[in-house]
């Protein structure tokens, strides 16, 4: 019941910031299947248009390289993926909030959002079109109008719009999760299991973001201005992956550090008092108390200041390498194909 309530709370409070495509996808019984179907339809439709307008013939004859076709097809895959990523982020946030309420009570509050994210969508579209269309035009001049150019402009604008709104939602929810952690009513440093939902928020958000450069880093492996755009694109999404991983846990990291320092100082004060009692033989039980305090001090010093364990850090490292690995792999395949043709 708590799960249902929290999902309604997040969904209703942030409805203005959720794109229409995400709301429509959320009504389906199988969002992943719908996403795959949309990706296939968009990609096949685009490739059919390229075939009908002679795009494949120009590639096969050597008049053009295949990068333009591959890049635009990937754009439509990403346009299908982003509503799913946004929907999963919204649902996972609701689930993590419900888990925190189960552990810490209904006193946990979630700030409402009144932003529709339109500015973030426009900014995202402007950044993407600038990187992959406007800047190349500045270097190489205005290209001839073609089906591929029109499709790339439409797909790029749609991708930038959805990506900007998704990134804004991720940052917004991360900031609110961080603020929520700072206001938790109590914190047991020796049992941080109740903080797992906050860590999961960061880890899952990072995965959703990291999949974007992993799917698209192969867009530019050719020399020239397109590589500059690809590097900038990869750096933007790598930075957003780091933000997605660290921002939700920033508040609880600061809280753990303060609590840890405070409790260690108190324990050490008691250790000094117990040590004096042992030395002066003022209390027969002071030795046992001193031993227990020393054990508690050691346990407190071992408390992690970040809510991530070793497996979480390994997963994050893998997420960061997904985009770079995709780019390197695409460059290797491109070189191999060039040597064979």
Q: What is the DSSP string of 128-165?
A: HHIIIIIHHHHHH-PPPP-HHHHHHHHHHHHHHHHHHH
Task: Report if residue 52 sits inside a domain.
Answer: yes
Q: Look at residue 44 in the predicted model and tell me its pLDDT.
A: 96
- Distance between CA atoms of residues 50 and 302, nearest Å: 60
Task: Report if residue 275 sits inside a domain.
Answer: no
- Distance between CA atoms of residues 309 and 327, nearest Å: 29
Q: 82: how many CB neighbours lie within 10 A of its CB?
A: 26
The CB-side HSE value for 261 (13 A sphere, CA atoms) comes to 6
Task: Report if residue 261 sits inside a domain.
Answer: no
Q: How many domains does the chain have?
A: 1
Cβ atoms of residues 273 and 285 within 8 Å:
no
Task: Report if residue 307 sits inside a domain.
Answer: no
Q: Look at residue 341 in the predicted model and tell me its pLDDT.
A: 45
Helices (H) and strands (E) in the chain, counts: 12, 0
Task: Report if residue 75 sits inside a domain.
Answer: yes
- The structure tokens listed for 46 are 């685009």
Task: Report if residue 263 sits inside a domain.
Answer: no
Task: Report if residue 140 sits inside a domain.
Answer: yes
Cβ atoms of residues 182 and 254 within 8 Å:
yes
Task: Report if residue 302 sits inside a domain.
Answer: no
- Residue 6 Cα to chain centre, angstroms: 21
DSSP tag of 293? H
Mark 89-98 as b/e (b = at least 16 C-beta within 10 Å): bbebbbbbbb
Tell me the chain's radius of gyration from C-alpha atoms: 26
Query: Which of helix, strand or coil describes residue 116?
Result: coil
Structural domain range at position 228: 2-251+317-340
DSSP tag of 14? T
Cβ atoms of residues 155 and 219 within 8 Å:
no
- Distance between CA atoms of residues 195 and 214, nearest Å: 29
The dihedral formed by the CA atoms of 55, 56, 62 and 63, expressed in degrees to the nearest 10: -10
The CB-side HSE value for 265 (13 A sphere, CA atoms) comes to 6
From first to last of its 341 residues, the chain has per-residue pLDDT tens of 333 333 434 444 455 567 888 889 999 999 999 999 999 999 999 999 999 998 888 888 878 777 788 888 988 999 999 999 999 999 999 899 888 888 877 666 666 555 657 888 999 999 888 887 777 676 666 777 888 889 988 998 999 999 999 999 999 999 989 988 888 877 888 888 888 899 999 999 999 999 998 887 666 544 455 667 777 888 888 899 999 999 999 999 998 999 899 999 999 998 888 888 777 766 667 778 888 989 999 999 998 889 898 888 998 988 888 767 776 766 666 666 555 54
- What lies within 8 Å, CB to CB, of 340 at 6+ separation is none
- What lies within 8 Å, CB to CB, of 183 at 6+ separation is 108, 109
Q: Look at residue 20 in the predicted model and tell me its pLDDT.
A: 84
């Amino acid at each position: 019941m708590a799960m249902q309530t929290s999902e309604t709370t997040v969904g209703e409070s942030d409805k203005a910031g959720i794109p229409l495509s995400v709301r429509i996808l959320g009504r389906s019984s199988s969002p992943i299947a719908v996403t795959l179907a949309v990706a296939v339809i968009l990609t096949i439709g685009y490739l059919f248009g390229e075939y009908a307008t002679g795009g494949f013939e120009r590639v096969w004859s050597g008049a053009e390289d295949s990068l333009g076709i591959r890049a635009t097809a990937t754009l439509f895959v990403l346009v299908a993926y982003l509503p799913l990523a946004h929907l999963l982020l919204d649902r996972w946030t609701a689930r993590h909030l419900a888990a925190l309420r189960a552990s810490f009570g209904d006193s946990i509050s979630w700030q409402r959002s009144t932003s529709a994210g339109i500015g973030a969508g426009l900014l995202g579209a402007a950044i993407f079109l600038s990187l992959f269309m406007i800047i190349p035009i500045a270097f190489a001049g205005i290209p001839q109008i073609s089906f591929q150019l029109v499709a790339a402009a439409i797909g790029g604008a749609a991708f930038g719009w959805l990506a900007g709104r998704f990134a804004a939602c991720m940052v917004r929810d991360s900031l609110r999760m961080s603020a929520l952690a700072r206001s938790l009513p109590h914190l047991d440093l020796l049992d941080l299991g109740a903080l797992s939902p906050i860590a999961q928020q960061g880890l899952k958000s990072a995965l959703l973001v990291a999949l974007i450069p992993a799917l698209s880093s192969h867009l530019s492996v050719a020399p020239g201005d397109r590589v500059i755009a690809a590097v900038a694109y990869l750096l933007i999404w790598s930075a957003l992956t780091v933000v997605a991983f660290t921002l939700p846990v920033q508040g609880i990291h600061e809280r753990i550090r303060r609590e840890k320092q405070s409790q260690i100082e108190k324990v050490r004060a008691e250790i000094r008092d117990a040590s004096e009692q042992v030395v002066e033989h003022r209390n027969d039980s002071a030795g046992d108390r001193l031993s227990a305090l020393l054990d508690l001090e050691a346990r407190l010093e071992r408390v992690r200041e970040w809510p991530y364990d070793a497996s979480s850090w390994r997963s994050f490292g893998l997420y960061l390498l997904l985009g770079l690995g995709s780019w390197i792999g695409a460059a290797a395949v491109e070189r191999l194909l060039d040597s064979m043709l």
